[in-house]
């Protein structure tokens, strides 16, 4: 995983229990086993971005998942309390994202804890890129 040398702190804790990650508006449901997380080629280990990419959902992430852009912006529509807290760096990047909502997160930084199932939605402005593989 690439890292951003300007970010403070380390990666968030990994999930401790199995859970499901659902992509709203699709048939994608990822059964996450904390003992078998995908390699962290995209974002933090166990991040929503890493999980989606390993499941074949191509989510835009121009910076490579190091919290240096807002292209992997997603909405956590269910289970937001079962994710790590957004860092100040993530919140600063989210300020540059279009269509910001209270449920907005960067998929590269959002790591579910396993406390409950999580549902995410890719914002409408970014859905076309995912469908067409851009």
All structural domains of the chain: 19-132 (3.10.20.30)
Q: Alpha carbon 106 to chain centroid distance?
A: 5
Per-residue pLDDT of the chain (134 residues; tens, 9 = 90+): 556 555 667 788 999 999 999 999 999 999 999 999 998 778 899 999 999 999 999 999 999 999 999 999 999 999 999 999 999 999 999 999 999 999 999 999 999 999 999 999 999 877 554 444 54
Per-residue CA distances from 75 to 16, 27, 34 (Å): 22, 17, 22
Enumerate residues 6+ apart whose C-beta is below 8 A from 113: 13, 15, 16, 17, 82, 83, 84
């Amino acid at each position: 995983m690439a890292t951003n040398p300007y970010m403070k702190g380390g990666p968030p804790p990994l999930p401790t229990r199995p859970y499901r990650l659902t992509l709203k508006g699709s048939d994608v449901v990822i059964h996450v086993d904390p003992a078998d997380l995908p390699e962290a080629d995209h974002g933090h280990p166990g991040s929503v971005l890493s999980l989606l990419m390993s499941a074949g959902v191509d989510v835009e992430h121009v910076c490579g998942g190091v919290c240096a852009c807002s292209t992997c912006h997603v909405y956590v529509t269910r289970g937001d309390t079962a994710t790590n807290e957004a860092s100040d760096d993530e919140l600063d990047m989210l300020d540059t994202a279009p269509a910001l909502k209270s449920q907005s997160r960067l998929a590269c930084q959002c790591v579910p804890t396993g406390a409950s199932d999580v549902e995410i939605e890719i914002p409408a402005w970014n859905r076309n890129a995912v469908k067409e593989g851009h």
